[in-house]
A = this chain, B = another copy of it.
Amino acid sequence: MSRSRLIGFFALQKNNTEVVIHVLIVMKALLLLGCPEVPVQTGLALYIGNTLKTQGFEVICAGTPSAVNLMRVADPKKAYIESYMNIDKCIDQIAEGIFDVDLTFGFIHKDSGLQYLATIAALSRSTPIAVVFGREAEPLSKEVGESLDGVYVIWAKAIHNPLPLKKKLDKIGEWAALERDQG
């Protein structure tokens, strides 16, 4: 099952009667990964990728070269994530309007992670979701909430143990409910 947005619009036929045309667009989720200094990052990204894929999203992972390399090594059969992009190329393409997504997950354990999500949030129509972890998770999560409009923040002081964050993620259920732009 693919998670899709249904867009209905009217069209005028030759005989001047109207018909409703429905277009289905598969919803896309973007995982935004900065440098993988904190051990839980790769595991959480694979976990969220799997949940989104199960819910019918097309999942794209954009990251720094080492973040992407680590994801590819950890998921050699592409069981969880199928598409990868360089993070700078991803930002360029969203800025140029040739690529966009419905949900953007920023993985944040330091300021650069917040900057990446803030950049995408300013350019994209997607809902920003901040997954904040690491030693500075608490102050960082507040900074994220204060600096990004409409952001959904999930945080835990997870460094090696992903379970506190996994529990919070599991409570969300249907990610599509967080989408801000229903077409």
Q: What residues of chain A have their CB less than 8 Å away from a CB belonging to chain B?
A: 35-44, 46-47, 50-51, 65-67, 69-71, 73-77, 79-80, 160-163, 166
27 intermolecular pairs with C-beta atoms under 8 Å apart: A35-B160, A36-B39, A36-B160, A37-B39, A39-B39, A39-B41, A43-B70, A43-B71, A43-B73, A44-B73, A46-B73, A46-B74, A46-B76, A47-B74, A47-B76, A51-B76, A67-B160, A69-B161, A69-B162, A70-B161, A73-B162, A73-B163, A73-B166, A74-B74, A77-B79, A77-B80, A79-B80
Residues of B within 8 A of A163 (CB): 69, 73
Q: Is the CB of A50 within 8 A of B69?
A: no
Residues of B within 8 A of A162 (CB): 69-70, 73
Q: Is the CB of A66 within 8 A of B161?
A: yes
The CA-CA distance from A160 to B39 in the complex, in Å, is: 9
Residues of B within 8 A of A71 (CB): 43
Overall SS of chain A's interface: helix
Q: Is the CB of A74 within 8 A of B161?
A: no
- Contacts A50-B76, A76-B50; is A70 near B38 (CB within 8 Å)? no
Distance (whole angstroms) from the CB of A55 to the closest CB of chain B: 13
Q: Which residue of B lies closest to A163 (CB)?
A: B69
Q: Is the CB of A37 within 8 A of B75?
A: no
Distance (whole angstroms) from the CB of A74 to the closest CB of chain B: 3
Q: Is the CB of B160 within 8 A of A43?
A: no
Distance (whole angstroms) from the CB of A47 to the closest CB of chain B: 5
Q: Is the CB of A42 within 8 A of B44?
A: no
Distance (whole angstroms) from the CB of A104 to the closest CB of chain B: 21
Option from B35, B38, B44, B50 in Cβ contact (under 8 Å) with A77: B50
